[in-house]
Chains A and B, each alone.
Chain A
């Protein structure tokens, strides 16, 4: 660090950085993107391995015999479900009791802030049924959860059947050391949220639920099962949970290990693993898989019923049965064995799963990218913000060039002093943009009734359209700011504002990326170039267009199309637009129902930050 303490060399370094600022930034951006794309290249990634000793060396035997009977139970469940057109609570209670479980129910009700048009629900009332298998000679301190959602229609009946079948089989075994809770949750995530809140006696989202009567101590791990056919071709593992949280990688390893052992095709993001990593198609396959994970994680929503467990520090994953047109089929007995094996291994755990990674990306089930490998990609993007900030800082610190005329010099200095930006010129745009952000957060829900009265729209549309309207209205911010500012903005003024905005964005993205890398990275991809190039002196119309394109809302729009593309379900622009609207409403709902933080993050922090740059562009 002699480099910095030597003023000459420091000056030289700073000169270099300011002179080559733009090229360095471009190189950093390219390098960041390239690094990220390189993550999916198999030689650069690590093979997954089981870190937890308690689950590793001792192999267990799987003996679950009664898959056929489980499927039959599933059919019976379907019949009862159809009969009562909803959750067949009584039947479930009776069936679970007959299998020797301690059975309890939990009622819950929730009125959504506005109707959910995707799932067609508004006032939700339901009942969760769960049975506890008490482990012999265990003091009720630890538990494992196996859950299956009771979804309307013909879905997931086999999951409930298999759950009951496993309950019956597990009940007759002596080796359990942890209580096992078999949960059938009503109204998928809402029921799960009610159950988890009841179990931990918290209330984060204002839901009404009846208190739970029976508990099994602290839950160590949970699996959620989704199965809609008697036979499946492959099992899919879903990891992404609320706010982009992921379960410990060992849970994925466990699933993978048993799929390999039993010979079940296993996928992640619905993508099979391929061995031809050195071919272009193999590489693009891995990129697709990883990008799907990044997109899902960035959305911050729970992608399965397991997603809500993660908040409570319970490692959880959803296992989905997928039935496609492949020849090779797996029957319920084999899936039962897979689950039995996983539960026996989880039962062997002495400590919570903690040995392996909590932050990772998976380009395939057998390979992963750890936080140490993917963070540099984000770091390279974030450093651009710091370089630009350094550049501005140097520009602000260097005195204006001295002229021959001493008097003029003094005048200029005095002029610079008098017009040096006050606190107000920075504070005003900051405050106003944050107020706009707060409006974006509050108004859509508040104004839905009014909007429904005055315009021919449904509540959901009202919310989404209000959000878009507030967002667009924020673009008029510069004019409002200038009206409040006394006098004209100065050269110095926008520089200080931009310096503040750059540092703000750097901190914001840095924190986001630490918690949810994918979200941080996607935001950085679009916001960093916008933040880097914007000044009041660039061509207004073109820059405004580019800035809008790079704004958070448009990022979301592109992400929707990109996600559809990745899933190999491309949509037309109109469908995409409709999808975009529903994604916005889902995002808002996720926040109010489950406490997802993406919507408030965008509305209260990212959008105001972007507005600051918008403000700089129109600086006068």
Chain B
């Protein structure tokens, strides 16, 4: 039981963070199309479920223990203002954590989360000028552009759902930016344009390439994750840059936003030479307003910086199947960030209860449980604020040694893929496949497709089929493109039947661009951003027939709806499409040749066609002409 003694704060935190994350997705209540109401209501309940199940699963003793802790926490929180009133201290808070998940495939997934909470109001007239933990550059962005919510991610690589399962925070390859503006903003497009340029400078990225041709306003797929009830999608802008390449120059400004920089705490592990020696790298910044306390009397701004990275077993293991912090990041941990109120490392040991898959050292007594993505996971916890975590050598180097061999491919409940079909440079067909691997549940998904204008979609060819039958989407939002102005936007609500593949196909024609519109490398092809599939997926917990093992019988008879679904967002791979491209390699030859052909061929033909031919009178000789002059003078007709 000692193991469980200390796990509570951790678990509370996880609970809070996940529930916040999920609740946020569900906050919107005034959804525009009614079809979504059912979908979008669910995340809220899912989050509640998460809490419930987590609470129940703990067992009786822990239950009691949790109660006291909550009271403690509440008491602390109440006490805090009372104590701090005389000297008004900035009400901000910083937490850092690292989750390490040994993946099924033998690879390892490390997910950093840094969270800064600040109870302030950027929007009121008074200018916020004193910054402590919250980065000033972002604070100014929020106040200047009246941003309500900002989500930006830079990803290098594609998340392999079939091998790695679901990520904690999904993101598409390249850069993704979506922003909810305050409803006080009058000219959203201009603000958006300015904002992207500013962010481009902050993150050293090509976000300035975001313009009206790749920006869309999704009507249903992206809802505010923070508090607030404005869901009018006029204030939402969404754009992706699938071509964006993420590297060190994006990591450095990202690290600079952290209170401790990369000097102390978990951030010392963020060494670019190792982070970019991986299979997947994704860094993100999420800003949103959240509730400060349970009653939600005051709001505070949450800045969440996340970094996800997957290390490849084959690339970096020299034959040995073992991972350590040093091997992954070429650093070990010696201290927590002094500014952090909590600093923890979680290792997912759910698949490894008896240590049969891998061996973890140094061992920890702390354990934690959380509902993550519809599954109940168990974590070993290392609290960096405790000195004894670092042991006698005063440094923490976690080591995971694999025992089992590589697993087969996973069958995640929901995954998707996309490709371009056909050949030739005139037409083509985009196929999007969505797999529902649930044995008996069907569930709805929202598909968002944003296709650049130079692929002219033939929307009448749109077909949705599952199991060989036509599957009529219950909601379609389609905004046709305008050449050189805006992209196609296609949103659909599709019901995926159980254990099936749903295929969405739409044909397109490749446009011939103007010659200045081609990129410097036209033969590389043109990118089409990932489709976004958002869904409430029935939880795997509900599928578990042996769930009674861990729960009292009375709690588990009805497969209660709330606990059995969770929110998932899946991104498909981006597409690379070749457009008809002129041969730019020899413009001079081409120009010369065409000019010659036109001049010689056309000119002479034109000449022949327009000239009128007359038989020319041979000019008379000199004598005759003189004679004629004389005859004229004499008034006699000429010869």
Contact = CB atoms under 8 A, between A and B. Distances in A.
B576 A141 contact: yes
A137 B576 contact: no
A568 interface: no
A351 B157 contact: no
Interface string B17-56: 0000000000000000000000000000000000000000
Nearest to B424: A313
Contacts of A354: 523, 583, 585
A202 B421 contact: yes
B312 interface: yes
A4 B613 CA distance: 12
A137 B604 contact: no
A142 interface: yes
Interface string B403-440: 00010110000000101111111000101000000000
Interface stretch (A166-174, A297-305, A441-449, A542-550): A166-174
A215 B576 CA distance: 13
Interface stretch (B271-279, B292-300, B335-343): B271-279
A498 B34 CA distance: 73
Interface stretch (B76-84, B158-166, B364-372): B158-166
A542 B102 CA distance: 85
B574 interface: yes
B157 A137 contact: yes
Nearest to A202: B422
B130 interface: no
Contacts of B408: 97
Given A5-B607, A136-B315, A312 B423 contact: yes
B58 interface: no
A218 B280 contact: no
B521 A351 contact: yes
Contact of B578 (A172, A313, A355): A313
A136 B425 CA distance: 29
A1 B604 contact: yes
Interface string A116-152: 0000000000000000001011111110000000000
Interface string A200-219: 11100000000000110110
B314 interface: yes
B520 to A, nearest CB: 10
B162 A102 contact: yes
A410 interface: no
A218 B604 contact: no
Contact of A4 (B277, B279, B604): B604
Contacts of A82: none
A139 B173 contact: yes
A352 B523 contact: yes
Contacts of A173: 315
Contact of A5 (B420, B421, B522, B608): B608
A351 B280 CA distance: 23
Most buried by A among B163, B429, B576: B576
Contacts, number: 107
A46 interface: no
B573 A139 contact: yes
B527 interface: yes
Contacts of A102: 160, 162-163, 409
A96 B158 CA distance: 21
Given A102-B409, A200-B423, A352 B524 contact: yes
> What's the dominant secondary structure at chain A's contact region?
loop
B603 interface: yes
Nearest to A140: B573
A100 B407 CA distance: 11
The winner among A5, A136, A173, A351 for most chain B CB atoms within 10 A is A136
A540 interface: no
B162 A201 contact: no
A7 interface: yes
A287 to B, nearest CB: 30
Contacts of B423: 200, 202, 311-313
B422 A200 contact: yes
B513 to A, nearest CB: 16
A350 interface: yes
A4 B421 CA distance: 52
B156 interface: yes
Nearest to A6: B613
B422 A201 contact: yes
A215 B521 contact: no
A324 B276 CA distance: 47
Contacts of A174: 277, 315
Nearest to A176: B315
A141 B422 contact: no
B634 interface: no
Nearest to A141: B576
Interface in A171-211: 171-174, 200-202
A138 B419 contact: no
Nearest to B309: A137
Nearest to B105: A100
A566 B468 CA distance: 54
Nearest to B576: A141
Contacts of A351: 521-524
Nearest to B156: A137
B167 interface: no
A171 B105 CA distance: 14
Contacts of B585: 354-355
A497 B616 CA distance: 38
Interface in B221-280: 242, 276-280
Contacts of A350: 521, 524
Interface centre among B313, B420, B423 (most CB of A within 10 A): B423
A200 B603 CA distance: 46
A134 B279 contact: yes
Given A200-B423, A215-B419, A352-B524, A139 B157 contact: yes
Contacts of B280: 136-137
Contacts of A139: 157-158, 173-174, 242, 573-574
Interface string A1-22: 1001101000000000000000
Contacts of A1: 600, 603-604, 607-608
B575 A217 contact: yes
B574 A141 contact: yes
B521 to A, nearest CB: 5
B525 interface: yes
B281 interface: yes
A201 B421 contact: yes
Contacts of B242: 139
Given A5-B611, A172-B315, A351-B523, A134 B604 contact: no
B106 to A, nearest CB: 9
A138 B315 CA distance: 15
B524 A138 contact: no
Nearest to B174: A139
Interface string A551-584: 0000000000000000000000000000000000
Nearest to A170: B314
Contacts of A4: 604, 608
Nearest to A3: B604
A100 B316 CA distance: 13
B277 A138 contact: no
B286 to A, nearest CB: 22
Q: Nearest 6 A-B pairs (CB), nearest first? A: A1-B604, A139-B173, A201-B421, A351-B523, A137-B157, A141-B576
Interface of B: 156-158, 160, 162-163, 173-174, 242, 276-281, 312-315, 406, 408-409, 417, 419-425, 429, 431, 521-525, 527, 573-578, 583, 585, 600, 603-604, 607-608, 611, 613
24 contacts: A4-B604, A100-B406, A102-B160, A136-B279, A137-B157, A137-B279, A138-B157, A139-B158, A139-B174, A139-B242, A139-B573, A140-B574, A141-B573, A141-B574, A141-B575, A171-B314, A174-B315, A200-B421, A201-B431, A202-B421, A215-B417, A215-B419, A218-B577, A352-B578
Given A1-B600, A7-B613, A140-B574, 10 more contacts: A1-B603, A5-B607, A5-B608, A97-B408, A102-B163, A137-B279, A201-B419, A202-B421, A218-B578, A350-B524
